[in-house]
Amino acid sequence: MLDLFYTPFSEFEFMQRALVGVIAIALGGGPVGVFLMLRRMSLTGDAMAHAILPGAAIGYLVAGLSLPAMTIGGLFAGVIVAVAAGLVSRFTALKEDASLAAFYLLSLALGVTIVSLRGSNVDLLHVLFGTVLALDDSTLLLLSSISTITVLALALLYRPLVLECVDPVFLRSVSRAGTPTHLIFLGLVVMNLVGGFHALGTLLAVGMMMLPAAASRFWSNDITVMMLLSVAIGIASGLSGLLLSFHAELPAGPAIILSAGAAYVLSLLLGREGGVLWLAWPGKHLEA
Amino acid sequence: MQAGSTAIRFDGVTLGYDRRPAVHHLDGEIPSGSLMAVVGPNGAGKSTLLKGIVGTLKPLDGHIRLDGSSGIAYLPQAAEIDRSFPLSVYDLVAMGLWSRSGLFGGVARRERTRIEQALAAVGLIGFERRPISTLSGGQMQRALFARLLLQDAPVILLDEPFTAIDAKTTADLLDLVRRWHDESRTVVAVLHDLDMVKRTFPQTLLIAREPVAWGETGEVLSAENLLKARRMVEAYDPHADVCHRHVA
Amino acid sequence: MPTRRAAFSLLAGCLALAASSLPAAAQNAQKLKVVATFSILGDMVRNVGGERVEVTTLVGPNGDAHVYSPTPADGRRLTEAGIVFTNGLKFEGWIDRLVKSSGTRAAKIEAAKGVKTLEGEAGGHDHGHGGSDPHAWQSIGNAKIYVANIRDALIAADEAGKATYEANAAAYLGRLDAVEAEIRGLVAGIPADRRRIITSHDAFRYFEEAYGIDFVAPQGVSTESEASAKDVARIIQQIRREKIAAVFVENVSDARLMERIAQETGARIGAKVYSDALSEPGGPAGTYIDMMRHNIRAFSAALSS
């Protein structure tokens, strides 16, 4: 038993680091994912992950696989796309899904072109897939900072965020906090994706954001509980994925996302709130 | 609020979308403390008018002036509320306290009492923990009125608040409206039920893109005026010229 | 009149002279155009072909031929070429399709033909090379076979240059022998129990076979496969167990993973080595010979200290 769960981490520092990294990602990504999902913006997360690419690519072009360069680049690109899409949908007839789709496709193509310019396809692979097994001190610091900022920001912005989701017209009529809240939220999404992509790559960073959140929906109707659950599921997926990678020789990043996916399917089937099993066999009806 | 002061003033106001006016050249005042109905055929610009007052729509021409910064409570038509969002009735109603607690404040005990009172006023005691997705149309409207109560605003705008609502709820909520009037608040409501207007609302604005009549309900809702309003077509003219009429 | 006739014949003579030099000029402009799939091969072809050939390389310095995506421009280069030199042994998974779609009539030559191949790495890292390890050039003995194949192909395409090609090839082979001697000398200088190296790209098996240095890798033969935690743990355990002193990164894989492994084991990170591609022309491994020399010196320096 000990050998199965504990030894891989006690014996190898890279495993400890990977776990810390994944915990940080889950801490920030889970709650953000819950809000994305409740606001019907799940695919936005995916789009934003791709939007980050040209910024990170430019950072890479300028300074190679450098953490600060690619992070700043990614943040810039993400923020620009998020703000642009948000503003376009607020002030023109085009709704957010279409404007975001347009921007992120542009972004992705731009990003791939830029990385290809510099020559090596391998680095492109690493940008796309990440290296959770190779987290150095600065990356870990970045990930922890991002999750701390995220948690603080969400605590502060909780009420306007909820309002913005449920009744944006009302919010607009009582306060001007609507648009900035939305933009700050998108900023948080970008930050968490940029952090996630250093460890898991563009494609999988979104997975850690959306899958635990989607799974948590099937267990509770309370937003706070959902957020806590999504963090727990995220951490559990990380743990499970790392152990799978260790014992079954699967590549680490995908193993983590597969674990999260399994959690989602289990929740889908067994979850108390609308899980398939409960829908199929609801039991006798109540008195009132 | 002083009696006789103006709550809302319109100066040559034209409101619309994409340069096409939905409300054309509106001049006038709504005195504070009035209980006014806004009626007119479909497409007359009634909802647009309310949106202009609240500020979500900027006038294409002219000004709308509000008395001070006293705050407005606005109930839009078929509120664009995301019913599937996991929110309890209590939390929905508690939003009305926004301006008091603002961005970060929690809900103090004194406020809790007020929320309970508001729920009682609309007959939703016992519904606190229910998710809003389980409410009927009437129950939702009651909850939204409770929220309006908590907002405690001097000006209240209601856009078709009783459409598709059952009679009992309508009666209960109308009582609330009368109570607001007794509290000297300014209430403006867009309505379709002319009998209800004649019974409850002392002032009426009859509008069909342009104001047809404005004043005492009895005078405004004459057969002649109503006919006139109906004749003013919802004129969407693809070849419309730039409007040259001057407003003083 | 005498002056006019003189002028006329002078003019005619000049013209004739000019005309006769045209074919010679045309011949000089008519270098044999060839395409090499990647930089190492391109360098060898240049050395054998000399002035008579114009070499275009598809995957340039520091590029990764395993995952290269050919562009339409590459197709065009193929159609303009007389010979296409590939490594063979399925190194370039994309070349057959490119040749077909470009419709080129160039001769397709596999430089590694006749090389005694080693099996691709077993153990789950299947990357589509179908069995043989393609990095045959890492042994000078094989490189000499490459050179011979190149020389013969050039002669077949350009009979007139036979003497030049043979001379160039012979000279180059001589230089290769010198480098090989240098390599063997340096290896001999490393204590026998220290001849073990970790590197992140398993491309040195031919080098290992020829010169006796053990290479251990955290990833499979291709850069396409991603490391699992078990792979990394295995490498770390091995480094600790066998007290391997050096870890090497080369120009086609993830330096971050190597850093992490080196940090955790206390092993030294050696200088950058080159396995699948040359460096930029002025750099430490701008030619094949420079590359081999640079690599062995780096290995030797890290292991001997």
How much of chain B exceeds pLDDT 70, in percent? 87
Residue of A nearest to C260 (CA): A134
Task: Indicate the pLDDT class of residue B68, thresholds 50, 70 and 90.
Answer: low
Chain A residues in contact with B126 by the CB 8 A cut-off are none
Instruction: Give the model's pLDDT for residue A24.
Output: 94
Instruction: Give the model's pLDDT for residue C5.
Output: 73
| pLDDT per residue rounded down to tens, chain C (305 residues) | 557 776 666 666 666 655 555 554 444 457 889 999 999 999 999 999 999 999 999 998 988 888 888 888 888 999 999 899 999 888 888 888 888 888 888 889 999 999 988 887 543 344 444 578 899 999 999 999 999 999 999 999 888 989 999 999 999 999 999 999 999 999 998 888 888 887 766 788 899 999 988 887 654 333 445 678 888 888 788 788 877 778 776 554 567 777 888 888 888 777 778 888 898 888 898 999 999 999 999 888 888 76
Instruction: Flag the least confident range among A154-158, A180-184, C185-189.
Output: A180-184
Mutate to test the interface with C, among A245, A250, A257 (most CBs of C within 10 A): A245
Q: What angle do CA C15, C16, C21 make, to 5 degrees?
A: 100
Average pLDDT (A254-266) is 94
Q: What CA–CA distances, in Å, run from B206 to B2, B7, B219?
A: 26, 19, 11
How close A286 gets to chain B, by Cα (Å)? 15
Domains of chain C with CATH codes: 27-179 (3.40.50.1980), 187-304 (3.40.50.1980)
Average pLDDT (A110-118) is 77
Average pLDDT (A255-262) is 94
Instruction: Give the model's pLDDT for residue C168.
Output: 93
Mutate to test the interface with C, among A5, A67, A120 (most CBs of C within 10 A): A120
Average pLDDT (B84-111) is 77
Give me the domain span that covers residue A185.
Answer: 20-204
Q: Which of A231, A196, A225 is nearest to A212 (CA)?
A: A231
Determine whether the interchain pair C230/A13 forms a contact, defined as Cβ–Cβ distance below 8 Å. no
User: Are A33 and A212 in contact, with CB atoms under 8 Å apart?
Assistant: yes
Instruction: Give the model's pLDDT for residue B248.
Output: 43
What is the torsion angle, in degrees rounded to the nearest 10, for the CA atoms of residue A162, residue A163, residue A166 and residue A170? Answer: 180
Average pLDDT (B144-158) is 91
Chain C residues in contact with A122 by the CB 8 A cut-off are 64, 67, 223, 252-254
- Can you list the positions of beta strands (E) in chain C? 32-38, 53-59, 83-86, 107-110, 196-199, 214-216, 246-248, 268-269
Instruction: Give the model's pLDDT for residue C27.
Output: 46
Residue C183 CA to residue A238 CA, distance in Å, equals 46
CATH number at residue A109: 1.10.3470.10
Instruction: Give the model's pLDDT for residue C217.
Output: 64
Residue B128 CA to residue B107 CA, distance in Å, equals 15
Chains A, C: CB pairs < 8 Å:
92
User: Are C164 and C31 in contact, with CB atoms under 8 Å apart?
Assistant: no
Q: Using one digit for the tens of pLDDT, what is the confidence trace for C86-143?
A: 998 888 888 888 888 888 888 899 999 999 888 875 433 444 445 788 999 999 999 9
What amino acid occupies position A199?
A
Determine whether the interchain pair B79/A169 forms a contact, defined as Cβ–Cβ distance below 8 Å. yes
Mean pLDDT of chain A: 85
Determine whether the interchain pair A249/C228 forms a contact, defined as Cβ–Cβ distance below 8 Å. yes
Average pLDDT (B180-187) is 90
Q: Is C234 exposed, middle or buried (0-12, 13-18, 19+ CB in 10 A)?
A: middle
Mean pLDDT of chain B: 83
Q: What domain count does chain A have?
A: 1
Instruction: Give the model's pLDDT for residue B214.
Output: 86
Q: Which of C229, C199, B143, C304 is nearest to A248 (CA)?
A: C229
How much of chain A exceeds pLDDT 70, in percent? 94
Q: Is residue A257 part of a domain?
A: no
3-state secondary structure at position B14: strand
Asked if pLDDT for residue B105 goes beyond 60, the answer is no
Instruction: Give the model's pLDDT for residue C43.
Output: 94
Chain A residues in contact with B91 by the CB 8 A cut-off are 162
Instruction: Give the model's pLDDT for residue B12.
Output: 84
Instruction: Give the model's pLDDT for residue C219.
Output: 45
Chain B residues in contact with A221 by the CB 8 A cut-off are 86, 131
Q: What angle do CA A181, A186, A190 make, to 5 degrees?
A: 145
Determine whether the interchain pair C67/A125 forms a contact, defined as Cβ–Cβ distance below 8 Å. yes
Higher pLDDT, C38 or A114: C38
Determine whether the interchain pair C233/A250 forms a contact, defined as Cβ–Cβ distance below 8 Å. no
Domains of chain B with CATH codes: 1-71+153-163+175-248 (3.40.50.300), 80-152 (no CATH)
In this predicted complex, what is the ipTM?
Answer: 0.77
- Can you list the positions of beta strands (E) in B32-152? 35-39, 61-66, 72-75
Q: Using one digit for the tens of pLDDT, what is the confidence trace for C189-215?
A: 888 888 888 776 678 889 999 998 888
Determine whether the interchain pair B56/A172 forms a contact, defined as Cβ–Cβ distance below 8 Å. yes
Q: Nearest by CB to B131, which of A156, A173, A221? A: A221
Touching subunits for chain A (3+ Cβ pairs under 8 A): B, C
User: Are A131 and A18 in contact, with CB atoms under 8 Å apart?
Assistant: no
Asked if pLDDT for residue A263 goes beyond 90, the answer is yes
Mutate to test the interface with B, among A40, A167, A176, A181 (most CBs of B within 10 A): A167
Q: Using one digit for the tens of pLDDT, what is the confidence trace for A202-213?
A: 767 888 999 999
Chain centroid to CA C60: how far?
10
pTM, full prediction: 0.70
Phi/psi of residue B214, nearest 5 degrees = -150, 125
Instruction: Give the model's pLDDT for residue C40.
Output: 93
Asked if pLDDT for residue A121 goes beyond 70, the answer is no
Instruction: Give the model's pLDDT for residue A122.
Output: 55
Tokens 């502060």 label which residue? A156
Chain C residues in contact with A17 by the CB 8 A cut-off are 260
Higher pLDDT, B230 or C106: C106
